[in-house]
Amino acid sequence: MRDKTFGVNPMRGLFGTLLLTILISGCATNPVTGKSELTFVSESEEISIGSRQYLPAQQSQGGTYDVDPELTRYVTEVGKRLATVSDRALPYEFVVINDSTPNAWALPGGKIAINRGLLMQLENEAELAAVLGHEIVHAAARHGARAMERAMLLQGAVMLTALGSKDSEYSNYIVGGASIGAQLISQRYGRQAELEADRYGMEYMAQAGYDPNAAVSLQEKFVALKDGQSPHWLEGLFASHPPSAERVQKNTEKSQEIRALQHKDWEVGQARYDHQLAYLESKKEAYQSFDQANTLLADKEIAVALNRIERAIRLESAEPRFLGLKADVLFQQKKYSNAISQYSDALKHDDAYYEYYLGRGLSHSKLGNRSKAKTDLEKSNSLLPTALATNELGNLALNEGDRASAKQYFGEVARTSGSLSEAARQSFVRLDLSDNPASYFRVQSQLREGQFFSAITNNSGLRVKSAVVQFNARINGEIRQASRRTGPLANGQTAGLYPGWALSETDLVDGINVRVLSVTL
């Protein structure tokens, strides 16, 4: 009933495509490892999936770091240098994500990202090359595509992905097909995939002239941080790329092998890296204050958090994430006009991040500015469709009398999880009960002491004031009709109704139909 009630799940389309592809797919040689593999997703579809998911994946991780555009150009330069020597020609792209969590990820088709938090932990350009080379192999060797194939075949769907929420009462989730990308970048790679990404990534480093020993020092650092149980790392790179002593050993052996066969003036790039990271390094305290503010807000320490945010803004006035977080606090304090002004300031610095439109749209809605709210929420969903924005668009559509759009919005949110999902489900059912009341009631009919009788059970999940039930039948060639009204029915409660038809074994009864025609809530 859920699939029928809440529409077609966009995940099922991709699942169906994969199943259809199985029928026409076969073995192919992996361009990196040279192994023969059964493939379900063609290269063109792999590239298409990565391209479609790249923007929402960036949005879900914090958006791009644009305060220092030279840093992204630098990362792209290093990435392209490695991509040129890779075993697979893909449309590689590289971005810096505006998040302090040390992390890096790759989507199918060569779409790669590295967090500014990880850049701050690296020592030199060769270590950056080790990270990017590793991610390039994940894309080139189809590790992400293979994981997607396994997930879709085993689960039939991709897990919904939770986001931070403007309203702590609700959990905010990515809705629709955009959750595929978020799931892909948070998946945990297996031991074989990680070893392959290390090994071939080091070969790419060497071909590009970088010292392969940097992959050893990088992995040693990761293992030490893991052993120290650093929370920041555990929720970032370690969640999807688990380090191990085995990887350190394998990297050491590979580096020794490469350096024994190739005699080069290996590049480390210390000076270049220090130069390119200088601006971000100079703003370290600002981002630390920002991170502290987020932690304090989670602990409901709003006043102290606001002080940390103000300090971050003083140290780096060009960072829109700081302005956006201040706007979030104003929203929580129900200072909606001030929040709108602050979100607008953030958008002047970055007009391509969903959270600012989402917060401003919710603020406009709170003030009754429905047209402006709708515009902002639709823009937010165009960047990253979320449960909060979609649910509020449903409320706005309902206020405008657009029941069809409201049902569509509420149906999308109902497929997520959490208390917002349940509220949306109830909103959807309230609307759909008028259009399809029979779908929410179970009807069981029988004879009781010679009288036709129907038991009507409310399965809507809501309490109803009454339901009108229509009875139709042909009895001894005569068409008979009757209608009866139930009293109040709680969810799961049953009402017994008699249409007033006395029947005997000799009566010829044909085509009895009993259905709920309308409901009053």
**33 by DSSP, 3-state: which?**
coil
Containing 36, the helix (H) or strand (E) segment is strand 36-38
Distance CA 195, CA 141 (A): 12
Catalytic-residue membership of 253: no
- C-alpha 202/C-alpha 129 separation (Å) is 9
DSSP string, 445-506: EEEETTEEEEEEEE-SSS-BSEEEEEEEEEETTEEEEEEEE---B-TT-EEEE--S-B--TT
Task: Give first-to-last CA distance, the chain, whole Å.
Answer: 21
Report helix, strand and coil shares of the chain as percent, to nearest 5: 55, 15, 30
Specify the 3-state DSSP secondary structure of 520.
Answer: strand
Contact 464, 492 (CB under 8 A): no
What's the CA gap between 464 and 477, in Å, rounded? 36
How wide is the angle at C-alpha 201 spanned by C-alphas 197 and 203, nearest 5°? 130
What strands lie across the sheet with 111-115, from one edge to the other?
93-97, 111-115, 104-107
What is the Cα–Cα distance from 429 to 411, expressed in whole angstroms? Answer: 9
Q: What is the SS3 assignment for 89?
A: coil
H/E element, 38? strand 36-38
Residue 387's closest CA among 424, 430, 355? 424
Q: Give the active site residue among 46, 135, 392, 412.
A: 135
Tokens of 232: 């920041």
Closest by Cα among 56, 173, 177 to 420: 173
Pairing state between β 104-107 and 509-520: unpaired
**Quick one: 229 exposed, middle or buried, by C-beta within 10 A (0-12, 13-18, 19+)?**
exposed
Q: In what order do the strands lie in the sheet with 509-520?
A: 478-485, 466-475, 509-520
Q: Is 88 helix (H, G, I), strand (E, B) or coil?
A: coil
CB 398 within 8 A of CB 406: yes
CB 105 within 8 A of CB 95: no
> Is residue 3 exposed (0-12), middle (13-18) or buried (19+ Cβ within 10 Å)?
exposed
Assess contact for 507 and 475: CB atoms under 8 A.
yes
- The residues carrying an active-site annotation are 135
